[in-house]
Structure 1
Amino acid sequence: MTAYAIAHLRPVTMNEDILRYIETMQSTLDPFEGRFLVHGAEVEVLEGPFPGTVVVIGFPDMDRARAWYASDAYRAILPLRTDHIPAEVILVEGVPAGYDAAATAAALRGAAL
């Protein structure tokens, strides 16, 4: 099942470390079949505070997402970001093909009653 790395990056002043991180990032993703789905886009905030931007990276599965984040190549460049950009970063699994939110609600309703 597809997995996603999602980062909420706070506003920062661009610097050389951040630029090196961005330039090197794709090479850390390639061995794990990771690809950017959202990167550098303006967010349209509809509810609540949301300073900054979001990055979404897709992977074929959670194992590859975890392996990428733990990889030597990514760990080597990670401080270029973490030293300069406050962020929350998560890994999350997507839903399977044919997912039905109404069926999920029905199952939750049945479990709650």
Structure 2
Amino acid sequence: MTAYAIAHFHRTSNHPQVIEYIDRIQATLDPFGGRFLVHGGEQYEMEGRWAAAVILEFPDLAKARAWYHSPAYQDILHLRADHTEAEIVLVEGVAPDYDPSATAAALRRAAQQDTTATT
């Protein structure tokens, strides 16, 4: 299942080390099949405040985790982290045939079971 690294930046910087990080990051992604889906494009804040958003795509969650913990990425991570504030999550995507109403039905059943168990 495809996986994503999603970064929600609260504060960004054009510090020379951040620019170096950006210049070097693709080489850390390549061995894991990672690629940018979102990076620095126009954005509209619909809820909350975001300085910037970045989304990376990986073939699966194992490769995303391996990339993040790889020596190559860990070697450059401080270049960004020392000059920005962000929250980053690795998350598995959904199948092409994903149906949110099936998830809602499962949640309803679970909620009903919780209600029945507590009464």
Q: TM-score, normalised by structure 2?
A: 0.90
For 1:13 and 1:98, the matched residues in 2 are separated by 39
Q: Which residue of 2 aligns with 1:108?
A: 107
Q: Which residue of 1 aligns with 2:70?
A: 71
- Per-residue deviation, 1:72: 0.4
SS for the counterpart of 1:10 is: strand
Could you tell me the percent identity over the aligned residues? 54
Q: Which runs of 5+ in 1 are unaligned?
A: none
Equivalences for 1:22-41 in 2 at 5 Å?
Answer: 22-41=22-41
Q: Which runs of 5+ in 2 are unaligned?
A: 113-119
Bigger radius of gyration, 1 or 2?
2
Q: TM-score, normalised by structure 1?
A: 0.94
Answer whether contact 2:60 2:92 (CA < 8 A) is retained.
Answer: yes
Write out per-residue CA displacement over residues 14-67 of structure 1, whole angstroms, 9 at most, x where no aligned residue: 1110110000010000000000000012321112x2230100000000000000
SS for the counterpart of 1:45 is: coil
* Over 2 Å off, 4+ runs: 10-13
Write out per-residue CA displacement over residues 60-95 of structure 1, whole angstroms, 9 at most, x where no aligned residue: 000000000000000000000000001101000001
Q: Which residue of 2 aligns with 1:18?
A: 18
Aligned positions, number: 112
